[in-house]
A and B are shown apart, each in its own frame.
Chain A
Amino acid sequence: MSGVEVAGRTGHRRLAVGQVAGDRRRAWPWPRVTLAALAAAACLVPFLLEPYRVFQLTMVLVHGIALLGLNLLVGHGGRVSLGHGAFLAVGAYGSAIMTTSLGVPYPLTLPVCALLTFGAGLALGRPALRLSGPYLAVVTFAVAVVVPLVIKRFGTVTGGSMGLSTPVPAAPSWTGLADDQWLYLLVLAVAVAAFAVARNLVESRAGRALAAGRENPAAAEVLGVRLDSHRTLAFGWSAMYAGVAGTLYAWVVGFVSPDSFTVTLSIVLLAAVVVGGPGSLLGPLLGGVFITFVPAVAQRAGDAVPGIVSGVLIVVVVCFVPTGLAGLLRMAAGAVTRGTGRG
């Protein structure tokens, strides 16, 4: 909103391009084959790779789910949250406390945490989303700063700064799977469901209302779109995704502590949405890859390098490739299509 207004000042306005502007041309001629190949690869991976690689891919999926949610708000809704780490914390701690203190079997914690964070998202979303422009970013930033302190404050429940160890879900014996394979497949199933739901959401009336609100709130309101309720709902959904990701995180890592949910996490999440490609469905997955692999790879070049690489990547992507990695991929796919003459 503010950005659009300001844009006129310098005469440097650039129009949104590609998918952001609603470009729905076909970019890839073999969607089914590709999808089938990907699905097969995703299912076979745990049996081919070392446990550590499987774990890394599991983390990619966990982050991917969180980013999918944040993307609903940021990419599709056009509102910026720097505090989504808080919902991850709620999901992770919710699951950890339920499994350790209350003895709830772990599969039950997933729906409970999902409902919990959905409710929290709805409750917080209404007042928060009324904040204009960058105020929402500032408030959510402040929330992200306070979260670890609140966790410590209620140390009797949360284990304080020492954190909580949670049992890692063991594979049922009838499957004959190793634990990491079981976890991977479990997370994969949740991720596929999450993607399906997100896709339906975005394609639905609500999704179009969100996009309309992002592009031109005034026009959308005039056309009778109730922006407030759509955005609140989007906030609720995105909080729920973060909560689900948090729960899975607790399962996979087996340990939660306040230091896992600092403001850095929220910043990294936002950065990953931007780098992956805001407003696309593939973006969150690419963002998950970014979160998991960039620090690990960049560390080989030097100790402070991961931060520099992430920072440069964010700035460069925002400045030059506003559609993110997903946009790049789309362009590449388009080039292939044209090259083979199948477009």
Chain B
Amino acid sequence: MGDLLLQVVQGLSLGAVYAALALALVLVHRFNGIVNFAQGELAMLSTYVAWQLLEAGLPFWAALPITLAVSVSAGALVERVVIRRVEGGGELACVAVTVGLMVLVNAAAGLVWSFAVRSFPNPFPAVLSFGSAQSGFSALGVLGVVAVMMLTLHLFFRHTGAGLIMRAVVADPVAARLSGIRVGRVLSLGWGVAAGVGAVAGILVAPLLFLEPNMMGGVLVYAFAAAVLGGFHDPVTTVAAGLAIGVAETLAGTYVKFVGADLKVAVPLLVIVAVLSLRRGRAVVRGTG
């Protein structure tokens, strides 16, 4: 029983990271209608920024806000400079440009920081025991941070003026523009917020997975699965899906023999395909939204 608990906790902590990255994907998609293949790499870049700050001697809780500020501005800048040009350029242009960014950011990080594996300090105390199982406290810490992040986003979108404007743009960009809202700026801000969420995901996952330019490659597939489960639309479903996928893949590796560890990555794929074929009708409507 204790073993099961340990596996579930490990699954949840990875799942929370999938959820955080999926949240960033959903945000971008709701603002621009773009699936951002570079989301993981941007998160990796943010993590390197944090790592560089820590190396320079800053304490973790000082480095975090700086990193977030840098990430938000960088995300907004990417939207303004690159993404704005392909809006309306069709599906191919949207996918291709983010794929291009993914390749570019990965190589650039390799050039600057090399592909060597680096350890990243864990902001949470290492060990906690509960019941018969003992596990990293970090697992719970990760969950907590993701919960706080969701709450903050919720409060931001529901109870601030900026949030209201952003919701107006998502609901009807044309009407929003007609009533004087600078839609372009809001879209930039949307990308910025998404990049910030991604940065949190990167920083959370780095102590577990160790920092290197390809760190987020594997995470991205799982984040896609979670985002698809949430219809690229609903943040709450997305986060729940991320957690469920994290637990499912950990347990599937153990309890479903055919899957084994070989085909564990196929789990998110199956999830994506199953979900899409089951709710095709609705997904079509939402997917374009």
Contact = CB atoms under 8 A, between A and B. Distances in A.
Does A touch B (CB under 8 Å) in the complex? yes
A315 B228 contact: no
Contacts of B34: 134
A267 B97 CA distance: 11
A134 B91 contact: yes
A142 B269 contact: yes
Interface string A307-321: 110111111001110
B contact residues, range:
35 or more
A253 interface: no
B266 interface: yes
Contacts, number: 208
Given A3-B90, A315-B101, A80 B95 contact: yes
Contacts of A84: none
Contacts of A137: 35, 37, 91, 95
B277 interface: yes
A13 B284 CA distance: 23
Contact of A274 (B96, B101, B111, B284): B96
A10 B33 CA distance: 13
A contact residues, range:
35 or more
A5 B87 CA distance: 9
Contacts of A4: 88, 90
B187 A133 contact: no
A34 B208 CA distance: 59
A310 B103 contact: yes
B224 interface: yes
A317 to B, nearest CB: 8
Contacts of B106: 307, 311
A302 interface: yes
A74 B92 CA distance: 7
B173 interface: yes
A9 B86 CA distance: 13
A11 B177 CA distance: 9
6 contacts: A7-B88, A78-B92, A145-B265, A149-B263, A153-B262, A319-B85
Interface of A: 1-14, 16, 74-75, 78-80, 82, 127, 130-135, 137-139, 141-143, 145-146, 149-150, 152-153, 214, 267, 270-271, 274, 278, 302-308, 310-315, 318-320, 322
In the A-B complex, the 6 residue pairs with the smallest Cβ-Cβ separation, listed nearest first, are A311-B104, A307-B107, A7-B88, A314-B100, A9-B173, A304-B111
Given A12-B88, A80-B91, A141-B37, 10 more contacts: A3-B33, A6-B88, A12-B184, A75-B92, A127-B277, A134-B287, A139-B276, A271-B103, A308-B108, A314-B104
